[in-house]
């Protein structure tokens, strides 16, 4: 029977050692929970949470057949079926534990799960360090660094980055299983190797960034466990083949933009050096963190300081190589850090580089390297003052992380933070503009879009959003110009045709407006045919049909969209508005009440509900609805006018039909 090293097993530890271990585990759990406690009260953010979760037709609402979709093919350029399956399960849990008959995706469920997975990862890091460093205190310190460093906030506080948390969870399980296999004395326990391989596959199916794991394990096997390089290489060869397959799959599912691909190899080395130096600076001085640093390859190559930063990284690599015999554990920790970052360093082009090569979330698993380094330092003899300083430093990191968590509470806070750090951020300006536009802060939103257009005059989203903004302000000539520019970039974009039609209608050019509505309907129909499960495309097609007078067809498509997703608040708004224009007031009120239950801050739905109640002569309920709309957007003119009508006891004007949201 094979004998095993006992470094991971607590079964034969003395009582005092078990007590210390229990104390360490409790300290890690409580410290992590204390630092990240506020995330459970955060909302979803439009930064990818919409496409991955709350507006994803294959998750909202969840079904088994929809979940199988993620295993059959890539979704939104990613083949991460494990992550999507977990999101589907959380969506189901949210619907079960929510209000009866109203399965709404509640952010609390998703944020809480992110926090729980991070806690599990912290404990796995602690267990791994105990097995490698054989020191309780050193392992606890290293795991605390992994737990509370501010660079980890993005991964924990962002629902969409559950993929990174799950990837790290399975990767750490794979490392632990492999280390246990490698520490076996006598006959190899191949079932542990197979278990490690299965965990590695699950990590890849959670996020492809796990392709670097075989190299990380190779370093640990040869460095900490002292196994031969040849043996480690042969043992990990199947892992490398699996990694190569996922690299090819990822490149096929998520094509790299041409602007990134055409960067030359010498420039990629420069970009990679800049990325590593950036991460080292954020490790040592974690300030001015945000979700978009804007350090794309073009930005890096335009600045000469990037050569200095790349040179610093090269110097550190040379020093680490020279110190590998005197400080082997520190050199290995630095190597683990570098290898974990390799897939996202910019040396190999990847899609997100069109925005930035660097992002805090790419540090998540790589933080295993600094955790190993800190543990190695703590194991060395030191005077009593050093542990006190170390405790203060970890406490300060936790304090900064707790402050950083607040920036992820909602769209406004997140995008304000991005622009405070990187004013030229394209996604930050666009998303903040959308948030400000929905709040009625038109000129502030316009400043965001103008910032984008000053750098990218042909940007489709910025031109379209400026067009929508000018329509809301009644500046139809300007709206026509912006929507036309958007169409110049994307001639087949149905939403651009739709809003151009609105702008032309506002100027009284009814023939041209009808033509654009017909164009919008045509392209919305094509979009619906390609993506039949996308209820928003169905809804938008219905709006265009309603605008050209096809109300029966519009109603059929609204109902179709709501059949796909009964929790689609915009669909209920539009169906309710259509019902009111057809004189079906009671039906309209029912639809609008459903819309505001699903989306309590839905200004347009509250405003239409106020108009419906006033049409029935219920002045009190009408005033309540208008006031609710003004709570969320005090400058919303239709709600202000409606509230004034209730004060004058005047009949309500028929509401207009809905708009694409």
What is the model's pLDDT at position 15?
63
Is residue 295 within 8 Å of residue 357, measured between CB atoms? yes
Q: How many domains does the chain have?
A: 2
550: in domain: no
* Predicted pLDDT of residue 102: 46
pLDDT value of position 99: 58
Check if the beta carbon of residue 593 is closer than 8 Å to that of residue 579.
Answer: no
CA distance between the termini of the chain: 66
- Domain containing 644 — which CATH number? 1.25.40.10
Exposed / middle / buried, residue 475 (Cβ in 10 Å: 0-12, 13-18, 19+): middle
| 98 lies in some domain | yes
648 in a structural domain = yes
Number of helical (H) and strand (E) elements in the chain, helices listed first: 32, 2
Residue 13 has what pLDDT? 53
520 found inside a domain: no
Is 444 part of any domain? Answer: no
List the domain range (segments joined by +) for residue 625. 567-661
Per-residue tokens: 64 = 């088994």
DSSP assignment string, 92-143:
HHHHHHSSTT-----HHHHHHHHHHHHHHHHHHHHHHHHHHH--HHHHHHHH
> Could you give the C-alpha distances from 417 to 292, 451, 596, in angstroms and in order?
10, 16, 29
CA distances to 128, 221, 232 from 5, rounded to whole Å, are 14, 14, 18
Alpha helices in 456-615 (DSSP H): 460-473, 476-489, 494-506, 510-530, 535-547, 551-564, 569-581, 585-598, 603-615
Residue 270 is encoded by which pair of tokens? Answer: 């420069």
User: Which among 337, 371, 406 is the end of a domain?
Assistant: 406
Give per-10-residue mean pLDDT for the chain (661 aa).
41 67 93 96 92 88 89 91 96 76 75 98 96 88 96 97 97 95 82 95 96 95 89 93 92 84 88 95 95 92 88 91 89 95 92 92 96 90 76 94 96 95 93 88 93 92 94 93 94 91 92 90 81 74 84 88 84 92 91 89 91 89 92 86 81 50 48
pLDDT for 134 equals 78
Boundary residue ending a domain (380, 406, 432): 406
Domain boundary residue, one of 406, 425, 453: 406
What is the C-alpha to C-alpha distance for residues 343 and 206, in angstroms, rounded to an integer?
A: 15
3-state secondary structure 222-273: HHCCCCCHHHHHHHHHHHHHHHHHHHHHHHHHCCCCHHHHCCCHHHHHHHHH
Q: Among 586, 629, 591, 631, which residue's Cα sits nearest to residue 610?
A: 629
SS (H, E, C) 309-369: HHHHHHHHHHHHHHCCCCCHHHHHHHHHHHHHHHHHCCCCCCHHHHCCCCCHHHHCHHHHH
- Joined tokens for residue 233: 């290489």
Q: What pLDDT is stored for residue 533 in this prediction?
A: 62
User: Is 509 inside any structural domain?
Assistant: no
User: Is the residue at 62 inside a domain?
Assistant: yes
Has residue 313 been placed in a domain?
Answer: yes
Question: What tokens were used for 323?
Answer: 């110190």
Segment (H or E) for 449: helix 442-455
- 415-426: burial string, b at 16+ Cβ within 10 Å, e else: bebbbebbeebb
């Amino acid at each position: 029977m094979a004998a095993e090293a006992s470094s991971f097993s607590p079964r034969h530890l003395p009582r005092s050692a078990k007590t210390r271990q229990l104390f360490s585990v409790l300290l890690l759990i409580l410290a992590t929970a204390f630092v990240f406690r506020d995330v459970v009260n955060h909302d979803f953010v439009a930064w990818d949470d919409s496409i991955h979760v709350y507006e994803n037709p294959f998750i909202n609402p969840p079904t088994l057949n929809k979940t199988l979709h993620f295993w059959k093919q890539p979704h939104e350029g990613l083949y991460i079926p494990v992550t999507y399956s977990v999101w589907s399960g959380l969506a189901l849990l949210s619907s079960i534990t929510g209000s009866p008959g109203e399965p709404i995706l509640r952010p609390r469920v998703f944020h809480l799960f992110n926090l729980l997975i991070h806690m599990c990862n912290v404990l796995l890091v602690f267990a791994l360090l105990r097995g490698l460093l054989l020191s309780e205190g050193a392992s606890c310190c290293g795991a605390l660094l992994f737990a509370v460093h501010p660079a980890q906030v993005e991964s924990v506080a962002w629902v969409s980055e559950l993929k990174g948390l799950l990837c790290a969870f399975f990767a750490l399980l794979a490392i632990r299983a492999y280390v246990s296999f490698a520490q076996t004395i006598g006959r190899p326990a191949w079932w542990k190797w197979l278990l490690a391989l299965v965990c590695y596959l699950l990590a890849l199916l959670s996020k492809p960034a796990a392709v670097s794991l075989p190299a990380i394990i190779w370093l640990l096997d040869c460095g900490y466990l002292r196994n031969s390089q040849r043996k480690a290489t042969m043992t990990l060869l199947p892992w490398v083949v699996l990694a190569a397959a996922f690299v090819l799959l990822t490149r096929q599912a998520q094509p790299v933009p041409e602007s990134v691909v055409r960067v030359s190899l010498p420039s990629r080395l420069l970009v990679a050096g800049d990325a590593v130096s950036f991460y080292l600076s954020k490790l040592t001085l974690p300030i001015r963190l945000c979700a978009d640093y804007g350090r794309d390859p073009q930005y890096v190559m335009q600045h000469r300081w990037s050569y200095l930063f790349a040179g610093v990284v090269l110097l550190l690599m040379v020093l680490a190589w020279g110190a590998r015999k005197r400080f082997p554990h520190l050199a290995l920790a630095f190597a683990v850090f570098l290898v974990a970052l390799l897939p996202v360093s910019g040396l190999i082009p990847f899609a997100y580089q069109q925005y930035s090569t660097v992002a805090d979330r790419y540090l998540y698993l790589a933080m295993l390297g600094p955790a190993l380094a800190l543990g190695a330092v703590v194991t060395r003899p030191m005077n009593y003052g050093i542990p006190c300083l170390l405790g203060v430093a970890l406490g300060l990191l936790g304090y900064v992380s707790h402050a950083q968590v607040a920036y992820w509470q909602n769209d406004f806070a997140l995008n304000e933070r991005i622009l405070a750090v990187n004013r030229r951020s394209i996604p930050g300006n666009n998303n903040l503009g959308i948030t400000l536009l929905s709040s009625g802060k038109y000129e502030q939103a316009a400043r965001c879009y103008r910032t984008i257009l000053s750098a990218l005059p042909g940007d489709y989203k910025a031109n379209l959003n400026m067009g929508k903004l000018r329509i809301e302000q009644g500046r139809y000539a300007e709206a026509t110009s912006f929507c036309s520019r958007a169409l110049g970039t994307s001639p087949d974009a149905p939403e651009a045709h739709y809003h151009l039609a609105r702008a032309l209608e506002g100027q009284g050019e009814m023939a041209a407006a009808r033509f654009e509505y017909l164009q919008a309907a045509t392209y919305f129909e094509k979009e619906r045919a390609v993506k039949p499960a996308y209820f928003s495309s169905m809804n938008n097609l219905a709006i265009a049909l309603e605008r050209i007078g096809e109300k029966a067809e519009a109603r059929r498509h609204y109902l179709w969209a709501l059949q796909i997703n009964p929790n689609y608040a915009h669909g209920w708004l539009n169906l309710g508005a259509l019902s009111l224009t057809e004189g079906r007031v009671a039906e309209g009120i029912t639809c609008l009440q459903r819309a505001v239950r699903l989306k309590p801050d839905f200004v347009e739905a509250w405003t239409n509900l106020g108009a419906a109640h006033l049409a029935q002569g219920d002045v009190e309920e009408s005033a309540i609805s208008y006031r609710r709309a003004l709570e969320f957007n005090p400058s919303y003119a239709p709600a202000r006018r409606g509230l004034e009508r209730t004060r004058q006891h005047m009949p309500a004007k028929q509401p207009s039909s809905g708009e694409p949201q």
